Amino acid sequence: MQAYPAELAELWVTGGERLILRPIRPEDAAAHDAFFHRLTPEDVRMRFFAAVRELTPAQLARFTRLDYARDMAFIAVREATGETVGVARLAREDDPNVAEFAVVVQPDEKGHGLGVRLMQRVLDWGRRHGVREVVGEILAENAPMLDLARFLGFRLRHLPADPTVIEARMTLLPPAAESVAPSRAAA
């Protein structure tokens, strides 16, 4: 497991407020849970596709204890209070070339570019760590998230099996070029 990448932290100022954007840490679990409880029920439904009232201890651990060589989550923390106000993550499952993305921003921070900045940070990390493709599912009614995905360059398509869900997909790196032996004529 890779050590915590503290060098990825940055100060970001929006609307006069100073936010620290940095990778999430295991000790952020309590602040992450508090952040979850500041989200509106609609924000939670848009993020989880269900009405989730609590994050289980297992979910909090999964969200905050990362193998930084494999997955990443950037959080935005208010410098003045230490409150988490946004998160964007990439998580790889079976295929190490593909990562699923998720992003959510606290209601009072929406409309200031924070979701875009967090996504840019996590996508840049993905490029540097061999993620070739990023994919996510967005509820078709979630216009702000669809706008964010379009702005960032994701390709969108309705899922044939469920018209209420749109798949967002982005190629970060081209497929690995296959090694080709030089021909005898070129030698």
d(CA 184, CA 182): 7
User: Quick check: 169 pLDDT over 50?
Assistant: yes
Alpha carbon separation from 140 to 87, 148, 149 (Å, rounded): 21, 13, 12
d(CA 22, CA 10): 6
Q: Are strands 17-23 and 98-105 parallel, antiparallel or unpaired?
A: unpaired
Q: How confident is the model at residue 79 (pLDDT cuts 50, 70, 90)?
A: very high
Architecture of domain 6-135: 3-Layer(aba) Sandwich (3.40)
Give per-residue pLDDT as tens, 82-126: 999 999 999 998 899 999 999 999 988 888 999 999 999 999 999
pTM: 0.88
Mean pLDDT (whole number) for 1-25: 91
- Identify the weakest region by mean pLDDT among 2-6, 61-65, 174-178: 174-178
DSSP secondary structure letter of residue 173:
S
Q: Where are the domains of the chain?
A: 6-135
Determine the 3-state secondary structure of 116 from DSSP.
helix
